Amino acid sequence: MSQEDIILVNNNFSLQAASLWNKIPQTKQQLILNNVYCVQCRVAVTMVNVSGFVEESSLVLKGSCGVCGENVARVIEEIN
Ligand SMILES: [Zn+2]
């Protein structure tokens, strides 16, 4: 396991969210986290301080914009 694997899932993920997140290939996880739209920056940014939980069977990621610190979120509906 590389160091990057460890960064993505942390104590801010619920158990359910972590198990869903872990089913996503690492390359796709990074694509997801590196392409989060920030309303403040008006571009896709990297989400930092990520926390995850499950809402209505979707994985919801919440965090901060890596550029300006604005709250950003990403809902992932399709997880196989
Ligand atoms: Zn921003």
Looking at the structure of the chain, the number of domains it has is 1
From ligand 1's centre to the CA of 78, what distance in Å? 25
Q: Which domain holds residue 71?
A: 3-76
| Per-residue confidence (pLDDT) for residue 13, from 0 to 100 | 94
| Per-residue confidence (pLDDT) for residue 58, from 0 to 100 | 94
pTM (2 d.p.) = 0.82
DSSP state string for 27-61: HHHHHHHT-EEETTTTEEE-EEEEEEEEETTEEEE
Residues in the chain: 80
From ligand 1's centre to the CA of 1, what distance in Å? 30
Residue pLDDT, tens place only, 29-75: 999 999 999 999 999 999 999 999 999 889 999 999 999 999 999 99
Contact 21, 5 (CB under 8 A): no
Neighbours of ion ligand 1 (CB under 5 A): 38, 40-41, 65, 67-68, 70
